[in-house]
Amino acid sequence: MTYKNLIVESKDRIGRISVNRPEKLNALNRETLGELSAAFEDFATSSEVGAIILTGSGGKAFIAGADISELARLTPVEGRDYARYGQRLFSRIETLGKPVLAAVNGYALGGGCEIALACTLRFAAATARFGQPEVNLGIIPGYGGTQRLARLVGRGKAQELILTGDMIDAAEAQRIGLVNQVCDPAELLARTESVAGAILTKGPLAVRYALEAVARGLEMPLLDGLDYEATLFSVLCASEDMKEGTQAFLEKRKARFQGR
């Protein structure tokens, strides 16, 4: 499939999606959201790809938010559909079954910050900037920002970012837990690829179930979450990957996982 607003490629079992509207700081218009949906779905179902990196083209922005020229024209009914459409895509990214790593190479504002929040891990160039500036436009985050930001960095910091609309730099984003690692801009992609590559050496079923246990567990009371964890643990005990992983350790060799 060819894309107008994305560059999609894959190498060494890592899929890479770059939002490619640098002249608009990679702002997400409807067309780009549709293409992202197709590209993520393609990688989700591909047996050739085990991890995905999301980044932005051009040196300046990861994604500078939803496209404000489209937002400006929304009726209330369209606004609800618009928010729900983005929310569905971001929730799909969160539950893809494969790790999605955001390589935040510049501005991650509004929907750009929200899509990063839906990713499994966030790596940022030291020059990256994060923010939820929707209040400046008289609206609130509509792609999950009010929910995921509070869950990730806590209610106080989330409220501060959402109510002031202020941008924070990568160091501050890391300090509050919004970002996993900060790197030199020139090393951002290599660093993100190296972590994706490291995850790909692990048991694929274990990676999938770990993601599911954390994501579903966060929505449950603790006792139910623990029960769910034990259930997934027991399913893995029946997997060939578990036999291979434990046997490889005992035989002092590297495991060769098959994902079954």
Question: Taking the complex as a whole, how short is the minimal distance between the CB of residue 66 and ligand COA, in angstroms?
Answer: 4
Does 108 participate in binding ligand COA (rule CB under 6 A)? no
Residue 43 or 107: the one with the smaller Cβ distance to ligand COA is 107
- Give ∠ CA 80-24-49 in degrees, rounded to 5: 75
C-alpha dihedral over 221, 227, 230, 235, to 10 degrees?
Answer: -110
The least distance separating ligand COA from the CB of residue 8, rounded to whole angstroms, comes to 22
**Contact flag: residue 69 with ligand COA (CB under 6 A):** yes
* Closest distance of CB 248 from ligand COA, Å: 48
- Residues with catalytic function: 114, 134
- Nearest residue to 83 (alpha-carbon basis) of 21, 159, 122, 134: 134
Exactly one of 6, 14, 27, 49 binds ligand COA (CB under 6 A); which one?
Answer: 27
Determine if 258 is a binding residue for ligand COA (CB under 6 A): no
Site for ligand COA (CB under 6 A): which residue of 15, 86, 133, 144?
Answer: 133
259/86 Cα distance (integer angstroms): 31
Q: How far is the CB of 129 from ligand COA (least distance, A)?
A: 8
Q: Tell me the three-class secondary structure of 64-96, residue by residue.
A: CCECHHHHCCCCHHHHHHHHHHHHHHHHHHHCC
**Residue 33 binding ligand COA, by CB under 6 A:** no
What residue has token string 């993601």? 211
CB nearer to ligand COA: give 31 or 212: 31
Q: Which stretch binds ligand COA (CB under 6 A): 95-103, 132-140, 178-186, 220-228?
A: 132-140
User: In sequence order, which residues have a C-beta less than 8 Å from that of residue 124 and are 6 or more positions away?
Assistant: 104, 108, 130, 170, 173, 174, 179, 181, 182, 183, 188
| 148's tokens | 């995921």
Report the distance separating Cα 27 and Cα 3, nearest Å: 15
Alpha helices in 105-203 (DSSP H): 111-118, 145-153, 155-164, 170-175, 188-200
CB of 18 to ligand COA, least distance (A): 17
Is position 3 an interface residue for ligand COA (rule: CB under 6 A)? no
CA 253 to chain CA mean position, Å: 33
Cβ nearer to ligand COA, comparing 139 with 242: 139
Site string for ligand COA, 134-173 (x = CB under 6 A): x--x------------------------------------
Interactions with ligand COA, residue window 210-249 (CB under 6 A): none
Binding residues (CB under 6 A) for ligand COA: these are 24-25, 27, 64-69, 107, 109-110, 133-134, 137
